[in-house]
Amino acid sequence: MRAAILIIGSLLWDSGDERASWRQSRLIIDHAVRVNVPIRYGRRSQSRGNTFTMTFAINGALGTGVLVPCRTSPPDVAALVAEAEELWKAEEPGAAPGSVGASWGCIGLLFRDQPAPWDWFLAWADFFRRNASPIPPVGREGLLSIPWPAIAPEGAAVDVDLILATATKADATRPHAEDVADAWINQNQGHERYFFENVRHGIRTPEDALVWRRIEETRPSWLREDAYAEAVAVLRGNPPSRV
């Protein structure tokens, strides 16, 4: 089975040792592609100064995530489980062995073929029930209920057999774009980096333009940071040329 990881946030760009090591050892980053996927900023994160991080948007409009192939194609469910466990370690370095979930999120699996191969489905569902609890859009069998991603912008279906992704628990009340922007505007601890790094790496939501308009109107002092210049150019519609 050809496997890939769907990334919709800091797993792609966080420079921490655990995540950098995971990307290098488990993924083929050079073969990453941008894909259409329903996402939004929907979860307040205490570790990020109570600003918003990315969630899947159930029945929501499509944004853009990044799909990265795994270095190894799992030949069986045991190898698939190992891939999921490594993904969760990158998300939660202190997680117990065998864990693929916590109160704030869990790993979900998406099969290209529907119905999914029965033996793989049964074995994965059994593992998931013993080691995690569902977080929408991941159901009780550990399956991720989103459309099969298509390559952005042309729309061709991605050519892998299964996808692993982290689903995070969205807040009960959906925030407006202004709420998302204000959470970054009203802090000075650098947590706005989450938004700008997502933009710089091609992770986009349908509400990014509204978030950006609010930020640009308010003009917080951190907006002048050189590190954000590339993302600001993208948001202004003037992405820098690349050689």
**Residue-level pLDDT at 181:** 98
Q: SS3 of 60, please?
A: coil
In terms of Cα–Cα distance, which of 54, 20, 92 is closest to 207? Answer: 54
Which of 168, 186, 207 marks a domain boundary? Answer: 168
**Residue-level pLDDT at 156:** 86
Q: Do 131 and 209 sit in the same domain of this protein?
A: no
Domain of residue 214 covers: 177-235
Q: Do 120 and 194 sit in the same domain of this protein?
A: no
Q: Do 39 and 122 sit in the same domain of this protein?
A: yes
Q: Is the pLDDT of residue 243 over 70?
A: no
Q: Do 86 and 159 sit in the same domain of this protein?
A: yes
Q: Do 75 and 161 sit in the same domain of this protein?
A: yes
140 occurs within a structural domain: yes
Q: Do 44 and 128 sit in the same domain of this protein?
A: yes
Q: Do 16 and 82 sit in the same domain of this protein?
A: yes
pLDDT tens column, 7-66: 999 999 999 889 999 999 999 999 999 999 999 999 999 999 999 999 999 888 999 999
**Residue-level pLDDT at 238:** 72
104 occurs within a structural domain: yes
242 occurs within a structural domain: no
Average pLDDT of the residues in 202-226: 96
Which of 151, 168, 185 marks a domain boundary? Answer: 168
Average pLDDT of the residues in 162-173: 97
Q: Do 204 and 133 sit in the same domain of this protein?
A: no
**Residue-level pLDDT at 242:** 46
Query: How many CB atoms are located within 10 Å of the residue 39 CB?
Result: 25
What's this model's pTM, rounded to 2 decimal places?
Answer: 0.95
pLDDT tens column, 57-115: 988 899 999 999 999 999 999 999 999 999 999 999 989 989 999 999 999 999 999 89
Q: Do 192 and 73 sit in the same domain of this protein?
A: no
Which of 146, 168, 190 marks a domain boundary? Answer: 168
pLDDT tens column, 128-151: 999 999 999 999 999 999 999 999
Q: Which residue do the tokens 């640009």 mark? A: 216
Q: Is the pLDDT of residue 239 over 70?
A: no
Q: How many domains does the chain have?
A: 2
d(CA 24, CA 4): 14
Q: What tokens appear for 89 in the block?
A: 């370690």
Q: Do 145 and 220 sit in the same domain of this protein?
A: no
241 occurs within a structural domain: no
Q: Do 8 and 113 sit in the same domain of this protein?
A: yes
Q: Do 19 and 83 sit in the same domain of this protein?
A: yes
Q: Is the pLDDT of residue 176 over 50?
A: yes
Query: What is the rounded end-to-end Cα distance, in angstroms, of the chain?
Result: 36
CB-based contacts of 53, cutoff 8 Å, min separation 6: 9, 10, 41, 43, 44, 45, 168, 194
CB-based contacts of 182, cutoff 8 Å, min separation 6: 214
229 occurs within a structural domain: yes
135 occurs within a structural domain: yes
Find the angle CA(238)-CA(240)-CA(243) to the nearest 5 degrees. 145
